[in-house]
Chain A
Amino acid sequence: MNDMQTPLDESGVLDRFLSENRLFCAPDPAIMEDHRIGPRDAREQALLEGEVDPHRINQVRGLILAALDEGNTMIEQMGAAPGAKWGDMVAAIFTASGDLSMIAPHGVVGFAACCHYPIKFIRKYWEHDPTVGVRDGDGFIHNDARYGGIHNTDQSMILPLFWKGRLICWLSATVHEGENGSCEPGGMPAAAESKYDEGLKMPPFRVVENFQIRRDLQTFLQNSVRDPKLQYEDMKVKLHSVLRLRERVLRILEEHGEEALIVTLRKNLEDVVEEVKRRIRELPDGTTRVVSFADSTLRENALLKLNMAITVQGERMTIDMRGSAPEIINRSINTNLASFKTMLFTGYLQNIWPDLPQCMAVFTPLEFVFDERSLLNGSFETPQAMSLIPLFKAMTIACIPMAKFNYMLPHRYTAMVAPQYDQPATLIYGGLTQHGEQVGNFCADINGMGQGGRSHRDGEHSVSPPFAAHCDLGEIELMEEDIPIVRLGAFTLAKDRVGFGKQRSGLGYEQIATFRGTGLWGFMTGCSGSLFPSALPLFGGYASPAYPLCKIKGVNVFDLMRETPEAFRFDIVELMNTQPFPGASYSTHDMGMTFELAAPGELYMMCQGAGGGYGDVLQRDPAQVMLDVAEDLISDVTARDIYKVVFDADTHVVDEAATAEWRAAERRERLARGRPYDEFVADWVAPEPPASLPFFGSWSDPQQVYGVTMGQRVAMPASGLESMFMLNPKDVRIAQLEAELLAARGSAD
């Protein structure tokens, strides 16, 4: 029986054989599970042991940031993707070992936490592979988030920079390109039931040689997507933006020398690590917690729990996401560990420590704990094309527990802020344009989400998506020249859809879209939050409302605009409640809709949402409430029922004394209806989730996780989660209808 054992002198041969004959270079857990900067390399060590000139570092740092900003602006100005036009992109620079040191100041900050993963892969697997290698003039393309990234709509162009024959640093440009040949147009298919429905899945590979795109590989990529023009144009845009960035960095090398560049890139990372450790040490020791819920898999309603506990002890901070929902093997809303950490990073850099340099080192002092095979730590085979469902919630979830650590500090790095609206609330489209071209992509007007209320003022209206504070909105007129979508109700703030509080949230805007000029066009949406509010409140405020998707079908609104334009106006609530179009069908739905074809002139309507409210509504200044009424942000009914303000219906003049008395009476009502906590909990807490609720995640014990597989509830140990498998929603519907039919036949008999 010893025949199978390998003699010691042959083990080296076997190891070499295995390393030289790797079956498949899959994502490497040693890379993908390590969010930290690596150790200094020999050159960095030697240089940083010597004297460092902080003035020169500052000068070089400024030159690099200016170069990155120029590269980013070039992409924005030249890029063809809607994402490029409104700023969903970044230019970045890395150390020679692949640690991301700086991004363009107006780039999407989340990319600062993930663009390094594919470079680490290139260094480990391709650099010394005789069939690949890394040479001056090379460029690598990448999009698969399993090898690093946010999601697979984002494509990167990555170039090594050589100086005097040595690799000095890496440069990259990344853009949300959208279309990638997935089973639904636009690159984010909710309908994907396996990762093989996701379209292009590019690990990093060389597509540029001698600074030229290889035409054969470019053609392969163009042949794999619906929009070959976009694929070609933006590959060139990214390449030439990085080449410009390369020119600038070469000039820095000529002027300041390689030592200055190497020291600047490395020191920027190490200084950030020390600063973050110092900030953690300032916080109280202990644990703060929050739970957040998404209410949809985008195919069916389900309550998906995100369970967060943040523990601080000295200069250690641990983010524990155990007890969250399990992964779903045939739904596209799973994400992988690295992408989820990337979006947590986004939340920290946008809402908690926005003054820190934007580099991957921010999270180096942090530790993370996840369950294996959770929705947030999905295994390799899970579809992840619509990972935005957990990822958008990741951008805001830490606001609440971190506010409970930060509030006491004598110095704040930014104001306390309740979570921003956290859904990708826009239409994804696909079809033939009015020019006969096939396209699929993501509408740019995702940038209208309301911010949460702050400690000292209300949240900003329609300020940005939660991952890109600096992003813009492209020119609507230019979009309408390219694609057949017509926005009939864009950018009107959604009245009464507010996170109420002492400081209210900002409002999102309404989007009413239709199309014309083509016979083949359709839409999809990919949001949760139609049953359970998405943006949570802070310190006693209220959340955002729940948002439906509204449709008006069986009508061509362009005909009616010609015939009776005075008979209606484009306001979602008014259109749906008054139903002014004869013969049309009016319906509401979850904001998760798989792709469907529409007819010209039909209306698809949704909202960018509001953020969470901050503080007790009864502490809101009555004058601020009435200003909201005057600005048509809230109705008279809301001012009275929610804020308890007494005012004259005609003049809107506040009766201060009556308001104070009404608010005092409301406080007395609270005392009358509230029950002591222990007594309340004894009645309220159920031993397990209600049987009627498809609940995924832990309930009372984070070590026991509930899920559903093949329609049956299962309880699993968190340490041994198994993938859930969902029934086909159409099969479920057929079974329901058959049961109803059977019952009807039974009663007829």
Chain B
Amino acid sequence: MRVLVTENLRIDLEQELWECRHCETALIGARENYKRGLLVYDRDPREIHKPLLDPRKYERTYSPHPQWCRILEYYCPQCGAMIETEYLPPGHPPVRDIDFDIDALKRQWADREEVIEAPVGSEPPRRRGHSHAH
């Protein structure tokens, strides 16, 4: 039984392993912080959110300030898929974002069928029948 956890991660309950959903390889034990099974890169945010205003003319350019904000990019060590990103000030400890009770998870899924493809879910309700057309 495998349980989908994010767009990129799943847990093999029998093996008690975190797995990458892209290359289907094991990352680390399911009771561990899954990030410990990944590679991390400290990205200067200006490389992604590039300055749109001329930095020679302006202090604020639509880019985050690199002394205030960094992007931690987490990669699968096998296939290089970007599993997670984290926006943090420099030096801030990464957050343990998922910390499940694996024994409870096993009990919960004992009676459930495995979900192979994540369902989409319904669209949120929207107001209909209104228009600004003249």
* Partner-B contacts on A (CB < 8 A): 106, 284-291, 293, 295, 303, 350-351, 354-355, 400-401, 403-404, 407-416, 455-456, 469-470, 472-473, 475, 496-497, 500, 502, 530-533, 536-543, 545-550, 573, 576-577, 579, 586-590, 614-619, 637-638, 641-642, 666-671, 673-678, 680-681, 684-686, 689-690, 692-693, 695, 699-700
Measured in the bound complex, the distance between the Cα atoms of B88 and A455 in whole Å is: 24
Q: By the criterion of a CB under 8 Å from any partner CB, how many residues of chain B are at the interface?
A: 79
Query: Across the interface, do B130 and A472 meet the contact criterion of CB distance under 8 Å?
Result: yes
Q: Name B68's contact: one of A295, A538, A542, A641 (CB within 8 Å).
A: A295
Query: Across the interface, do A615 and B7 meet the contact criterion of CB distance under 8 Å?
Result: yes
How many residue pairs, one in A and one in B, have C-beta atoms under 8 Å apart? 274
Query: Across the interface, do B49 and A533 meet the contact criterion of CB distance under 8 Å?
Result: yes
Measured in the bound complex, the distance between the Cα atoms of B51 and A194 in whole Å is: 37
Chain A CB within 8 A of B77 CB:
yes
Task: Report the minimum CB–CB distance from A319 to chain B (whole Å).
Answer: 15
Q: Which residue of A lies closest to B78 (CB)?
A: A671
Measured in the bound complex, the distance between the Cα atoms of B22 and A618 in whole Å is: 12
14 A-B contacts (beta carbon < 8 Å) = A287-B99, A291-B88, A355-B122, A407-B118, A410-B112, A540-B7, A545-B64, A548-B61, A576-B54, A576-B58, A615-B8, A671-B80, A673-B41, A699-B92
In the complex, chain B residues 83-133 whose Cβ is within 8 Å of any chain A Cβ: 83-85, 87-101, 104-105, 108, 112-113, 115, 118-127, 130, 132
Measured in the bound complex, the distance between the Cα atoms of B74 and A673 in whole Å is: 11
Q: 1/0 per position for B58-77, CB-CB distance to A under 8 A?
A: 11111111011101011101
Q: Name A536's contact: one of B35, B53, B87 (CB within 8 Å).
A: B87
Measured in the bound complex, the distance between the Cα atoms of B15 and A240 in whole Å is: 65
Q: A-B pairs with the 6 shortest C-beta distances?
A: A674-B39, A667-B80, A686-B91, A412-B121, A548-B60, A286-B100
Query: Across the interface, do B60 and A589 meet the contact criterion of CB distance under 8 Å?
Result: yes
Contacts of A690 in B (CB 8 A): 67, 89-91
Q: Which residue of A lies closest to B101 (CB)?
A: A285
With A573-B53, A588-B61 known to touch, is A680 a contact of B95 (CB < 8 Å)? no
Contacts of B108 in A (CB 8 A): 284-285
Query: Across the interface, do B83 and A540 meet the contact criterion of CB distance under 8 Å?
Result: yes
Query: Across the interface, do B8 and A677 meet the contact criterion of CB distance under 8 Å?
Result: no
Query: Across the interface, do A573 and B52 meet the contact criterion of CB distance under 8 Å?
Result: yes
Task: Report the minimum CB–CB distance from A199 to chain B (whole Å).
Answer: 31
Query: In the complex, which of the residues B57, B90, B91 has the most CB atoms of chain A within 10 Å of its own CB atom?
Result: B91
Main secondary structure on B side of the interface with A: loop
Task: Report the minimum CB–CB distance from B74 to chain A (whole Å).
Answer: 7
Task: Report the minimum CB–CB distance from A675 to chain B (whole Å).
Answer: 6
Query: Across the interface, do A413 and B121 meet the contact criterion of CB distance under 8 Å?
Result: yes
Measured in the bound complex, the distance between the Cα atoms of B84 and A690 in whole Å is: 24
With A284-B100, A284-B105, A577-B53 known to touch, is A532 a contact of B7 (CB < 8 Å)? no
Measured in the bound complex, the distance between the Cα atoms of B4 and A532 in whole Å is: 31
With A545-B63, A576-B58 known to touch, is A416 a contact of B81 (CB < 8 Å)? no
Query: In the complex, which of the residues B8, B68, B97 has the most CB atoms of chain A within 10 Å of its own CB atom?
Result: B68
Query: Across the interface, do A469 and B124 meet the contact criterion of CB distance under 8 Å?
Result: yes
Contacts of B84 in A (CB 8 A): 539-540
Query: Across the interface, do A699 and B93 meet the contact criterion of CB distance under 8 Å?
Result: yes
Contacts of B124 in A (CB 8 A): 350-351, 354, 414-415, 469
Task: Report the minimum CB–CB distance from B29 to chain A (whole Å).
Answer: 14
Q: Which residue of A lies closest to B120 (CB)?
A: A456
Query: Across the interface, do A532 and B104 meet the contact criterion of CB distance under 8 Å?
Result: no
Measured in the bound complex, the distance between the Cα atoms of B42 and A675 in whole Å is: 9
Measured in the bound complex, the distance between the Cα atoms of B130 and A530 in whole Å is: 34
Q: 1/0 per position for B33-60, CB-CB distance to A under 8 A?
A: 1011111111001001110111001111
Task: Report the minimum CB–CB distance from A15 to chain B (whole Å).
Answer: 48
Q: Name B85's contact: one of A106, A416, A541, A700 (CB within 8 Å).
A: A541
Query: Across the interface, do B54 and A577 meet the contact criterion of CB distance under 8 Å?
Result: yes
Task: Report the minimum CB–CB distance from B119 to chain A (whole Å).
Answer: 5
With A532-B69, A576-B53 known to touch, is A284 a contact of B101 (CB < 8 Å)? yes
Query: Across the interface, do A286 and B101 meet the contact criterion of CB distance under 8 Å?
Result: yes
Contacts of B5 in A (CB 8 A): 404, 407-408
Measured in the bound complex, the distance between the Cα atoms of B35 and A700 in whole Å is: 17
Measured in the bound complex, the distance between the Cα atoms of B48 and A543 in whole Å is: 10
Measured in the bound complex, the distance between the Cα atoms of B129 and A106 in whole Å is: 13
Q: Name A547's contact: one of B62, B65, B93, B97 (CB within 8 Å).
A: B62
Q: Which residue of A lies closest to B105 (CB)?
A: A284
Query: Across the interface, do A414 and B123 meet the contact criterion of CB distance under 8 Å?
Result: yes
Contacts of A475 in B (CB 8 A): 132
